[in-house]
């Protein structure tokens, strides 16, 4: 039985994730036992560990690695460093990875990890020691055939290099395939850094085609200026879209004539925020979400478009580069208003898809060029987009519901075929 939207606390990503799953499970008429398996997830590790700080003190940190499902292949998903990380958030993010790998039809299960910390308050040396000790603590769970971490919020290629090195020291030989999103020099893949945004932009292109809209005449706003947001803004403007607003956790920049994304990147590198850049007006994160643009790309955190502000969203397309930016009650409002929402488990699936390419290249010890990677990503993204759109049109459901029907359906089917051991 699906739970009504009003009964869940939408500030909690796990409640949102379970609600979305329940809706798909009801549509797919999944048996109760299978439903319980997929609701509960598979394996969870909580670790508390000390880190030597630069001032000579010792501080305790708490981290998690959750494998939601390993039915379709090794666990796969990022590691985030953020003050809001807790077990329930990691559980939600791990489940979303399972459905995402299902939608993209790549041979991985779903996993996620995180350390509760404020990375902005840690030095590079402290971040390295925290990362290495966390890796050591979760080493029994991860591995190229078991569970493969990648970057997420406030982690990057350098973080992956430290994880790969620590794990390799533990094993006594170099294991490149234990993480994806590594630096190119040590086994990373061309195109991985911009892959989440590149995939999202392919999905935006397909959305425009579907809606008969012209890219050249259009405008966009991007919330978030990290890996996903910066590359999304860059790629959209390279494609001819006028990007009028971007933001980060400290504020935003607006110019109705269009922003110079590269100049904003340089400004942020110097000032720590995009806010206040020359030739731009300041705008808040909340105002950015309500701009009258063709495309809105939430590329930051969960729970940004909610029952409180969805009514004021004026974009025609919302393409979710972030995980979980729209709550279920906002989804209902956007659907009723006719906003075309490309859901996270489809729109940001480009990241994990190129992670898959990286893992395949590591396994084969044979590397591909960037044109090949982007062409393969385009074909997987375009196929997934149209599979979801076909379900949405045939069943007369929102794109999110359609994506869940596809993703949950694939994971459920794998589980059913494999059966219950013993």
Q: Which residues are catalytic?
A: 112
Query: Please, what is the minimum distance in Å from the beta carbon of residue 6 to ligand GLU?
Result: 28
The 3-class SS string of the chain reads CCCCHHHCCCCCHHHHHHHHHHHHHHHCCCCHHHHHHHHHCCEEEEEEEEEECCCCCEEEEEEEEEEEECCCCCEEEEEEEECCCCHHHHHHHHHHHHHHHHHHCCCCCEEEEEEECCHHHCCHHHHHHHHHHHHHHHCCCCECCCEEEEECCCCCHHHHHHHHHHHHHHHCCCCHHHCCCCCHHHCCCCCCCCHHHHHHHHHHHHHHHHHCCCHHHCEEEEECCCHHHHHHHHHHHHCCCEEEEEEECCEEEECCCCCCHHHHHHHHHHHCCCCCCCCCEEECHHHHHCCCCCEEEECCCCCCECCCCHHHCCCCEEECCCCCCECHHHHHHHHHHCCEEECHHHHCHHHHHHHHHHHHHHHHCCCCCHHHHHHHHHHHHHHHHHHHHHHHHHHCCCHHHHHHHHHHHHHHHHHHHHCCCC
Stretch that binds ligand GLU, among 13-21, 260-268, 291-299, 350-358 (CB under 6 A): 350-358
C-beta of 51 vs 95, nearer to ligand GLU: 95
Q: Which C-beta is closer to ligand GLU: that of 104 or that of 402? A: 104
Residues 102-131 that bind ligand GLU (CB under 6 A): none
| Position among 109, 191, 226, 351 found at the interface with ligand GLU (CB under 6 A) | 351
Among 352, 373, 403, 411, binds ligand GLU (CB under 6 A): 352
Task: Return the number of the residue (149 or 252) whose C-beta is nearest ligand GLU.
Answer: 149
Here's the x/- map for ligand GLU, 56-85, by CB under 6 A: it reads as --------------------xxx-------
Site for ligand GLU in 147-166 (CB under 6 A): 150, 152
CB of 83 vs ligand GLU, minimal distance in Å: 18
Task: Give the count of residues interacting with ligand GLU (CB under 6 A).
Answer: 11
In terms of CB distance, is 150 or 333 closer to ligand GLU? 150
Shorter beta-carbon distance to ligand GLU: residue 97 or 264: 97
The least distance separating ligand GLU from the CB of residue 188, rounded to whole angstroms, comes to 12
Site string for ligand GLU, 355-374 (x = CB under 6 A): x-------------------
- Residues lying near ligand GLU in the complex (CB under 6 A) are found at 76-78, 150, 152, 180, 323, 348, 351-352, 355
């Amino acid at each position: 039985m699906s739970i009504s939207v009003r009964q869940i606390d939408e500030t909690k990503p796990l409640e949102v994730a379970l609600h979305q799953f329940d809706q798909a499970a009801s549509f797919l008429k999944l048996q109760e036992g299978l439903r319980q398996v997929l609701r509960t997830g598979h394996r969870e590790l909580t670790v508390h560990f000390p880190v030597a700080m630069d001032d000579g003190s010792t501080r305790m940190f708490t981290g998690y690695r959750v494998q939601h499902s390993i039915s379709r292949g090794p666990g796969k998903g990022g590691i985030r460093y953020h003050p809001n990380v807790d077990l329930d958030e990691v559980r939600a993010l791990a489940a979303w990875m399972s459905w995402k790998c299902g939608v993209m039809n790549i041979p991985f299960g779903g996993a996620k990890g995180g350390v509760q910390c404020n990375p902005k308050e840690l030095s590079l040396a402290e971040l390295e020691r925290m990362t290495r000790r966390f890796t050591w603590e979760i080493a029994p769970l991860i591995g190229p055939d078991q569970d493969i971490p990648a970057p997420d919020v406030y982690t990057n290629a350098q973080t992956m290099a430290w994880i790969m090195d620590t794990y390799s020291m533990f094993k006594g030989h170099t294991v490149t395939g234990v993480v994806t999103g590594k630096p190119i020099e040590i086994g990373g893949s061309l195109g991985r850094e911009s892959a989440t945004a590149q995939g999202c932009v392919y999905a935006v292109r397909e959305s425009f085609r579907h809606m008969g809209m012209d890219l050249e005449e259009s405008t966009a706003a991007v919330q978030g200026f990290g890996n996903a947001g910066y590359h999304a803004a860059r790629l959209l403007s390279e494609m001819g879209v006028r990007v009028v607003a971007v933001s980060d956790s400290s504020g935003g920049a607006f110019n109705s004539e269009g922003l110079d994304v590269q100049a904003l990147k340089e400004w942020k590198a110097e000032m720590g925020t995009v806010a206040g850049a020359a030739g731009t007006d300041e705008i808040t994160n909340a105002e950015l979400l309500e701009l009258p643009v063709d495309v809105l790309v939430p590329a930051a955190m969960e729970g940004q478009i909610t029952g409180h502000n969805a009514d004021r969203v004026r974009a025609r397309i919302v393409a979710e580069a972030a995980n979980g930016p729209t709550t279920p009650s906002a989804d209902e409002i956007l659907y009723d208003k006719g906003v075309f929402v490309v859901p996270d488990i489809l729109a940001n699936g480009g990241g994990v898809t190129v992670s898959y390419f990286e893992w395949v290249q590591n396994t084969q010890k044979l590397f591909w060029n960037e044109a090949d990677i982007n062409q393969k990503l385009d074909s997987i993204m375009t196929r997934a987009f149209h599979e979801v759109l076909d379900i949405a049109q045939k069943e007369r459901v929102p794109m999110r519901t359609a994506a869940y029907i596809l993703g949950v359906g694939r994971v459920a089917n794998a589980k059913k075929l494999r059966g219950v051991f013993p």
